[in-house]
Amino acid sequence: DAGITQSPRHKVTETGTPVTLRCHQTENHRYMYWYRQDPGHGLRLIHYSYGVKDTDKGEVSDGYSVSRSKTEDFLLTLESATSSQTSVYFCAISESETGVTNTIYFGEGSWLTVV
């Protein structure tokens, strides 16, 4: 299994509070991703990173920010959580183009409930 750790795994927070989810990898992979999964929508890309301090928006980036100050860590922040951000959040990693498999590996998910 790819070395990906998400924290926290479960969180309940109140509307309007800031929330940060952390993704830590031990694989030294170039790309890191944050997805959210909601019923009927599959996995939707929030933000992704193609290197330290290099990030780009995905299809559902509004209300979210990210930071990557080290290769191994990718943080997802909800500046002011809303009920619509209640979801399961997945972190994923992938090698650079010179890698062997270019497969996307997933963490175990973080369940976030905004009340």
Contact set with other proteins (CB under 8 A): 30-31, 33, 35, 37, 40-45, 48, 50, 56, 58-59, 88, 90, 92, 94, 97, 101-106, 108-109
Q: How far is the CB of 22 from other proteins (least distance, A)?
A: 18
Q: How far is the CB of 77 from other proteins (least distance, A)?
A: 21
Q: How far is the CB of 101 from other proteins (least distance, A)?
A: 7
Strands 10-13 and 110-114: parallel
Closer Cβ to other proteins, 17 or 27, answer by number: 27
